[in-house]
C-alpha cells in the first residue's frame, strides 16, 4: 500500500467514524456503541462515501435500520404501552386542580373526605377508634 492509499484509507476511516458519531447524536444513541458495532461498521462500509452527496445523511440512513432492529442493544428503551384508563370499578373520578379551583371550601372538604383528591396528595382523614 502506498502512502497516498494509506492516507486515503485513514481519511475515509476517520470520516466514517465522525459520521457515525454525528448520526448517533441525531438518533439519540450512545456513539461508542455504534462505533464498536460490527453490524454498523458493515452497514456503513457498504456506502460509497466518495459518491455520496451528504455523507452524514447517508451514514444515518444506513445506521437507522440497524438500530431499529435491536434498539435495546443501542440503549434505546422499548416503547412503554399507554397507561390504561381507569375502569368504572375503581370508583369515582379523581378531581383535578381545575375542579378544586371551581369548588367552594366546603365542597373541597367533602371531596377530600370522599377520597376524590387522593391524586393531588390529599387523602381522606383517618378516623380514630375509640377505646
Q: In the structure, what pLDDT confidence band is assigned to residue 7 with cuts at 50, 70 and 90?
A: confident
C-alpha cell at 91: 370508583
- Each domain of the chain, given as residue ranges in start order, spans 3-74, 90-120
How confident is the model over 9-37, as a mean pLDDT?
85
* 89 vs 130: which has the higher pLDDT: 130
Cell 455523507, residue located: 55
Q: Per residue in 99-126, pLDDT tens?
A: 988 888 889 888 888 888 888 888 887 7
What Cα–Cα distance (Å) separates residue 66 from each residue in 97, 112, 123?
A: 45, 52, 49
pLDDT level of residue 84 (50, 70, 90 thresholds): low
Please report, for the chain, how many H helices and E strands are present, in that order.
6, 0
Q: What pLDDT does 129 receive?
A: 66
The pTM for the full model equals 0.53
Amino acid at each position: 500500500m502506498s502512502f497516498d492509499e494509506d492516507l486515503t484509507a485513514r481519511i475515509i476511516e476517520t470520516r466514517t467514524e465522525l459520521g457515525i458519531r454525528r448520526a448517533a447524536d441525531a438518533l439519540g444513541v450512545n456513539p461508542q456503541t455504534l462505533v464498536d458495532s460490527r453490524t454498523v461498521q458493515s452497514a456503513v462500509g457498504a456506502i460509497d462515501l466518495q459518491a455520496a452527496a451528504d455523507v452524514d445523511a447517508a451514514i444515518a440512513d444506513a445506521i437507522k435500520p440497524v438500530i431499529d432492529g435491536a434498539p435495546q442493544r443501542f440503549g434505546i428503551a422499548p416503547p412503554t404501552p399507554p397507561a390504561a384508563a381507569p375502569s368504572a370499578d375503581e370508583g369515582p373520578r379523581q378531581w383535578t386542580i381545575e375542579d378544586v379551583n371551581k369548588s367552594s371550601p366546603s365542597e373541597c372538604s367533602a371531596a377530600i373526605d370522599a377520597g376524590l383528591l387522593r391524586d393531588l396528595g390529599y387523602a381522606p382523614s383517618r378516623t380514630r377508634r375509640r377505646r
